[in-house]
Amino acid sequence: MSRGGNEKKSAPEITITHDLTIPKVFVQSVAKYGSKVAMREKEYGIWRPLTWTEYLDRVKAITLGLVAMGLQRGDKVALIGDNRPEGLWAEMATLCAGGVAVWLYQESLIDEVQFIVDHSDAKFIIGEGQEEVDKALAIQDKCPKLKQVIWDDPKGLRRYDDPILTSLDKVMERGRVIDHTEPHRFDELVKMGGGEDVALLFYTSGTTSAPKGALLTHWNMLKMGQNLLRVDPAFESDNFVSFLPFAWIGEQMMSISCGIQAGFTINFPEEPESSLEDLREIAPHMMFSSSRLYEQMVRGMQVKYADSTWAKRKLYEWGLNVGYEIADRKFDKKPISLMLQAQGKFADALIQRTLRDHLGLARIRNAYTGGSAIGPDHFRFFHAIGVNLKQIYGQTEIAGISVLHRTDDVKLDTVGKPIPETEIKIAEDGEILSKSPAVFKGYYKNDEATAKTLKDGWLHSGDNGFIDDNGHLVFFDRSKDIMVLSDKRKFSPVFAESRLKFSPYIKDAWIIGHERSCVTAVICIDYGVTGRWAESKGIAYTSYQELSQEPRVLELVQKAVEQVNKSLPETARVRRFVNMFKEFDADDDELTRTKKIRRGFLEERYKLIVDALYSSMKEVRFNTVINYEDGRVQNIDTLLKIVDVAQGK
């Protein structure tokens, strides 16, 4: 049963042909929705709306301004900054001018920005403000094709006078002059091109090597959005909150591919840090995020539970247990008794509705998680409180999504069935192969990788899995990440890692054990949650490093490891672990920008720690350098305690 969903009919499906482009669909949507609110941005605590007509006005001005500055069809435009209306205007304007949008993660370091801007042959950079401008100026001498840097937030830029710089306002002023003198120019630009033209050059996260640039066409993006909406229709009165980086294909999937076809309103948080608060204010009807956000939500609820009174904790436990029983019966397609249905309604009224409202999910109809597998404990939690959470499977090379749970057919251990017009098969070695109108054209400047990935007419994912008896895809793990345990059994480390992260005190876990004598783990505690626990126990500490090695914190983590071990095969159980002296960080190359663990890099960087885990040592001294986003470096010299985990039956 959907909760808080809109009962209005969805918009008639658009007929997507090979001459249709994203700008053409955008202009059609503007004509259809006109004065309806297309987007909102929270600024100084106030939500400021922008209609579809106003959206078009901004896009038209930027398009004509960029063309006047020399942007030609096929030119690349790099975009970087937080989620904001200006970012979406600039991307749509790039496409309307016939250009190719190249998004970068807003926290990208200078060398990452340089690599993508240079490799993509970007002619323009459109950034948010001073931080992005500084990065662009630092790389301009090493990126010979870069001609112009455009910013939209003037804060801190008063004395910046490099001729390569200009403001987005000036670009728009220039475009409006052209629109006045050539009123049909924009329409002529939009009519040019076709669906097979490249729209996006998207760089993969690169867990083992330099990122590869995936070329996605207008046809790819439109068909993927259409087929997702065929499974889960969206309505023009719906709200969506845009907080994932635009450089992640999942955000493009919702804001561009689905947004312009369904006509729903896109809402931009005031700051990335306020996303969860803003989510509650909007109470969206659909949501897409990585497992990290859902894990963070669960941790927050667990902390509030621990801080509650005895009576509230007991009521919470009862309501959650009823929800778990109903959810499990739905997963197993078993009937729900009248008594359990009655208990469910009572629990929903007393507990679950309040929890959904607190999380900003009061009106959610479809919540999606992708990018990395979410743990079964987290997945069950959301279904227990009445959130229709669905696992999706896909990749950048297939425009974001190829497999999805259906509302009436959610299975705990699968990622669902292929969306319409998508075919999935499993190769002899277990690799997941796909065919779809959304499959990309290839990698930019990398014919060898293209041929390997698109071999025999199928998209080769590099992922391992199988199709169960009900036609559901079971995603096992990245083929290169699958562990072979001491008894030669294959095992997915992600499974154990996600189970460990159900503990509110554990933010990250790295499971080790491929072709080794046993399984060990490196744990990153959640500093905020664990710190609050420590303070409640009167434990003094001054830093993450000190808190992580506190004996009672080590004991706390050990109990969480022992609990997870009960659900694992004997040879997959964690025998020893160490608490890390800091969180894993993308700026230190330990995570990708989509927050996936870079296992090969960790093995190399922390070889001393790994070797100690597989010795008789009880502690290990480690010295390293930490890089901060602002350029600072810090030398760390620390003694890490190694904990042996008791093995129950």
Per-residue pLDDT reduced to its tens digit, 358-375: 999 999 999 999 877 788
648 — pLDDT class (breaks 50, 70, 90):
low
d(CA 123, CA 120): 9
**Can you tell me whether residue 189 is helix, strand or coil?**
helix
Whether 126 contacts 150, CB under 8 Å:
yes
Beta bridge partners of residue 638, listed in sequence order: 622
Whether 402 contacts 436, CB under 8 Å:
yes
* Amino acid 5: pLDDT: 36
Q: What is the mean pLDDT of the chain?
A: 93
2 — pLDDT class (breaks 50, 70, 90):
very low
Mean pLDDT value across residues 611-618:
95
Classify 289-438+448-480 by CATH class.
mainly beta
Pick left, alpha or beta for residue 439 (phi over 0 → left; psi -120 to 50 → alpha; otherwise beta).
Answer: beta
Per-residue pLDDT reduced to its tens digit, 79-133: 999 999 999 999 999 999 999 999 999 988 899 999 999 999 999 999 999 999 9
Per-residue pLDDT reduced to its tens digit, 316-341: 999 999 999 999 999 999 999 999 99
* Amino acid 441: pLDDT: 97
d(CA 231, CA 219): 19
Per-residue pLDDT reduced to its tens digit, 360-413: 999 999 999 987 778 899 999 999 999 999 999 999 999 999 999 999 999 988
Per-residue pLDDT reduced to its tens digit, 619-628: 999 887 766 6
CA-to-CA separations, 78 to 138, 148, 256, 421, in angstroms, rounded: 15, 10, 17, 31
Residue 147, classified by CB atoms within 10 Å of its CB into exposed (0-12), middle (13-18) or buried (19+), is middle
Lowest mean pLDDT among 14-23, 44-53, 270-279, 604-613: 270-279
Q: Find the largest Cα–Cα distance for the chain.
A: 81
d(CA 251, CA 281): 20
- For the chain, the first-to-last Cα distance in angstroms comes to 41
Residue 307, classified by CB atoms within 10 Å of its CB into exposed (0-12), middle (13-18) or buried (19+), is exposed
Residues 214-223 as b/e (b if ≥16 CB within 10 A, e otherwise) read bbbbbbbbbb
Collect all residues with Cβ–Cβ distance below 8 Å to 234 and sequence separation of at least 6: 10, 258, 262, 264, 285, 286
Q: What is the CATH number of domain 22-288?
A: 3.40.50.12780
Q: Which of 424, 364, 362, 350 is nearest to 393 (CA)?
A: 424
Other CB atoms within 10 A of residue 471 CB: 12
Other CB atoms within 10 A of residue 521 CB: 26
634 — pLDDT class (breaks 50, 70, 90):
confident
Mean pLDDT value across residues 303-313:
91
* Amino acid 630: pLDDT: 57
* Amino acid 583: pLDDT: 92
Mean pLDDT value across residues 139-168:
95
Q: What percent of the chain has pLDDT over 90?
A: 84
* Amino acid 3: pLDDT: 32
d(CA 584, CA 601): 12
* Amino acid 7: pLDDT: 41
Side-chain half-sphere CA neighbours of 58 within 13 A: 18
Whether 229 contacts 458, CB under 8 Å:
no
**Which strand ranges, in their side-by-side order, compose the sheet holding 417-418?**
286-289, 366-369, 389-393, 403-404, 417-418
Q: What architecture (CATH level 2) is domain 482-644?
A: 2-Layer Sandwich (3.30)
Mean pLDDT value across residues 598-623:
93
Q: Which of 143, 125, 23, 115 is nearest to 444 (CA)?
A: 115
* Amino acid 594: pLDDT: 80
CA-to-CA separations, 66 to 160, 173, 226, 422, 543, in angstroms, rounded: 21, 11, 30, 37, 48
* Amino acid 198: pLDDT: 98
Does position 538 have pLDDT exceeding 90, yes or no? yes
d(CA 134, CA 642): 43
Does position 478 have pLDDT exceeding 70, yes or no? yes
Mean pLDDT value across residues 457-477:
93
Q: Domain residues of the chain, as ranges?
A: 22-288, 289-438+448-480, 482-644
Does position 649 have pLDDT exceeding 70, yes or no? no
